[in-house]
Homo-oligomer: A and B are copies of this chain.
Amino acid sequence: MIEQLGLIGCGLMGGSFALALKRAKLVKRVVGYSKSPSTTERARQLGVIDVAAPSALLAMSGADLVLIAVPVGASEQTFKAIRHGINDKMFVMDVGSTKGDVIEAARRGLQDQIGAFVPAHPIAGKELAGVEHADADLYAGRQVVLTPVKATLRSNVQRASKVWTAIGAKVVTMTPEAHDSAFAAVSHLPHLLAFAFINAMTAHPQGSRFLELAGPGFRDFTRIAASDPTMWRDVLLANREQVLLQAQGFREALAHLEALVRTGNAQELEDAIAAASGTRSLWQPGVAASPD
């Protein structure tokens, strides 16, 4: 289906995409570039890419699909670097966790080539960054959100949808604004809270003794706190407006529960916990908690 994939950013996300395409025999050749030459070379040694390119522009030359899998903060410079290499047969995707800022970066960086770009966010990941952890199964069964804008060529949205579907992902399309609001709620805010929780623990004089006693609840609640700092710095800054808005909603809900605990309002506390517990018990990945 794809003659040549130009992979810009040979990390976990990009590497997993390349491996998935290769395993499904959907790509003939993968040409890769990473900012760090040792990463590019490592990707080649691992068979994630076939050819190591010395620049982003050379990595995309001759490709029919270009995947940009760099930290969202590096989006604009990447778009600028590849703009002159884009031709009519080529489409470009990213894998960023935020979409509004990446689209702005694409408008500035790609300019009149913006039609080639299909903004994409695969809802998948691991705490372990790096091409060593790239996994052909990373996207299997996961949702991928495409957020095309007016300028995006419809034919490219269709090609993007087809390639994600072919590697086992489920494609959802929405506006960039709806995406960024939803992911502030379900992903960016939880990360912020998990980081804050660990930092509060560390700030406590007995924090490291406490950690010795932590069990499976702590393990799962804080798993996302081990995520990549550079990536999450960029995500939180890129989507700051929505993240701060939803953090405000969270603080209100927390203050309400704290007040019920402080005043010993057992019935209302139980009701509030039951509401949360009921919602979470009904939740399943990719399924609405209640019909609406």
* Interface SS, A side: helix
Cβ-defined contact, A221 with B223, below 8 A: yes
A89 at the interface (CB under 8 A from B): no
From B124, B227, B237, B289, A277 is in contact (CB under 8 Å) with B227
From B218, B252, B269, A186 is in contact (CB under 8 Å) with B218
CA gap between A291 and B224 in the complex, in Å: 24
CA gap between A267 and B204 in the complex, in Å: 23
Please tell me the number of chain A residues within 8 Å of chain B, measured between CB atoms. Answer: 98
Cβ-defined contact, B288 with A209, below 8 A: yes
- Mark contacts of A261-287 with chain B using CB atoms, 8 A cut-off: 1 yes-contact digit, 0 otherwise: 110101001111111110111010111
CA gap between A196 and B202 in the complex, in Å: 22
Which residues 37-59 of A sit at the B interface, judged by CB distance below 8 A?
none
Interface residues of A (CB under 8 A from B): 73, 123-125, 127, 142-143, 145, 172, 181-183, 185-187, 189-204, 206-230, 232-233, 236-237, 240, 243-244, 246-247, 249-254, 256-258, 261-262, 264, 266, 269-277, 279-281, 283, 285-290, 292
